[in-house]
Copies of this chain bind each other. A is one copy, B any other.
Amino acid sequence: MTALTDVLDTLASRADDSLADLQAFAAIPSVSAVPAHAQDMERACRWLMERLQAAGPLTTERWATPGHPAVYAEWLGAPGQPTMLVYGHYDVQPPDPLDEWQSPPFTPTVRDGRVYGRGVSDDKGPLLIAVQAIGAWFSVTGRLPVNVKLLFEGEEEVGSRHLPDLVRANADRLRADFVLSADGGMWSAEHPSLTVRARGLTALEFTVTGPATDLHSGRHGGSVHNPLHAISELVAGLHDRAGRVTVDGFYDGVQDRPPHERDAVRRLPFHDDAYLAQTGAPAVHGEAGYSTLERQWDRPTLEVNGLWGGYTGEGSKTVLPSRAHAKLSARLVPGQDPDRVRTLIETHLRTHTPPGVTLDLREAAHGARAYAVPHDLPGLQVARDVLTDLYGQPPLEVGMGGSIPILQTFQEVLGLHTVFFSFAVGDEDIHAPNEFFRLHRIQEGQRAWASYLARLARPEDHPA
């Protein structure tokens, strides 16, 4: 284990550089959803390629897509050893609402043992951990214990829309034994965890139109249907009083987990009071008959992510607007097909659109099925062992409310399962103002990734 020990020492000696690395990377506003940031996406892509080249003798390539490019790198100098495909993404969510950030979203700032900035937790910090661990192995030994391929995309936050085609076109290059994902995140900072399930996703947008132009609400109010009223009726009608989604067929194929698994989830160290303190919500809310963790991991949901229309500026404007808009997304569980669920929601909205307004529907993102990692996957067992060593306790095996559309792609196109090995934590306000990443998790993550590479190697070539 000498080599690994040296690698860990090297990583410890580079703590300041690692933080500076992340601050430089997160200073680039690589917002994939907003066309005005196209140049920033390109800058982030190039920054990442240079960072990989600095890490060691990796073959590094820019893989163009019709959207934002992906970065690919590989080192295949360990014949006979396993090959792992590392996944991550260098794009980030839009930073709105800007005025709620305590420090500017793209000026990564350290406060109280955390670094604050858009993307530091999702996914630039966790992605760099993998690169830094690999870099330390190269520095110490000039090589890696196993073969490594890295694929970092630039469209995760917009549904990985071009990744399936890219993976399909490069299926031979991407051949591996499994995927180790630097995206994802652990369930809490106190309890090491491995995510073994993730919900799927489907999303759509719709517009409700009443009059052809905005009207004066004094003159016309009460005599034509107000699109803001109509869209509120549509949104309010998506759930019943028991918190169940009312869309016909939405729950088809959805099954409760067996009682012993439901019991296991209930025994996890999770308390609604602590959850409310963390989120600031005044009460939990959701589908009757399920606990909070079940609502997050095991039940499908339908959420409005944006709703707008009429006058939203300062002061008052007595307008009856022509249009109102909404963005919706559904989280899916095993048994649900994304396209079918989207169609069901669309049918529901069409059926319930009141007279006096018209409805326009748009697909908002490619769908993703729900996912589960096989319990006995070797890459998962290595992850269990590494985390048990690092934290002195076996990791919890948990679900994930969010979705990673690429899971489906890796499984369907490459036949590969994915192990989540991110050191982000679920409370780090990703997709919200004041996203942060814990500095001590950078060190822990680097140690874990460095150890993972050593443990994955077969004994005959194990660095001794």
Contacts and interface: CB of A to CB of B under 8 A. Distances in A.
Interface of A: 32-35, 93-94, 96-97, 100, 157-159, 199, 201, 203, 205, 210-226, 228-229, 231-239, 243, 275, 279-287, 292, 295-296, 299, 301, 303-322, 324-325, 327, 329, 331, 354-358, 364-365, 400-403, 426, 429-434
Contacts of A305: 217, 228, 310-311, 316-321
Contacts of A317: 33, 93-94, 96, 157, 305-306, 327, 431
Contact of A281 (B225, B309, B327): B225
B431 A318 contact: yes
A130 B243 CA distance: 60
Contacts of A430: 216
Contacts of A214: 97, 100, 429, 431-433
Contact of A356 (B201, B203, B212, B285): B285
A307 to B, nearest CB: 5
B213 A303 contact: no
What is the oligomeric copy number? Answer: 2
A324 to B, nearest CB: 7
A277 to B, nearest CB: 10
A305 to B, nearest CB: 5
- The CB with the most chain B CB atoms within 10 A, among A210, A233, A287, A432, is that of A432
Contact of A236 (B221, B229, B314): B229
A283 B232 contact: no
B312 A213 contact: no
A356 B236 contact: no
A212 B280 contact: yes
25 contacts: A32-B315, A34-B314, A34-B315, A94-B317, A100-B214, A158-B316, A203-B318, A213-B280, A213-B432, A214-B432, A215-B432, A217-B331, A219-B400, A221-B301, A222-B301, A222-B331, A224-B285, A225-B281, A228-B306, A232-B304, A282-B355, A305-B318, A307-B307, A312-B327, A316-B327
B281 A432 contact: no
Contact of A364 (B232, B284, B316): B316
Contacts of A231: 232, 307
A156 to B, nearest CB: 11
Contacts of A433: 213-214
A401 B221 contact: yes
A431 B293 CA distance: 48
Given A218-B402, A235-B232, A285 B225 contact: yes
Across the A-B interface, the 6 shortest Cβ-Cβ residue pairs:
A212-B280, A218-B402, A33-B315, A222-B301, A232-B235, A214-B432
Nearest to A310: B306
B296 A222 contact: yes
A330 to B, nearest CB: 9
Given A211-B281, A232-B236, A279-B224, A303 B217 contact: yes
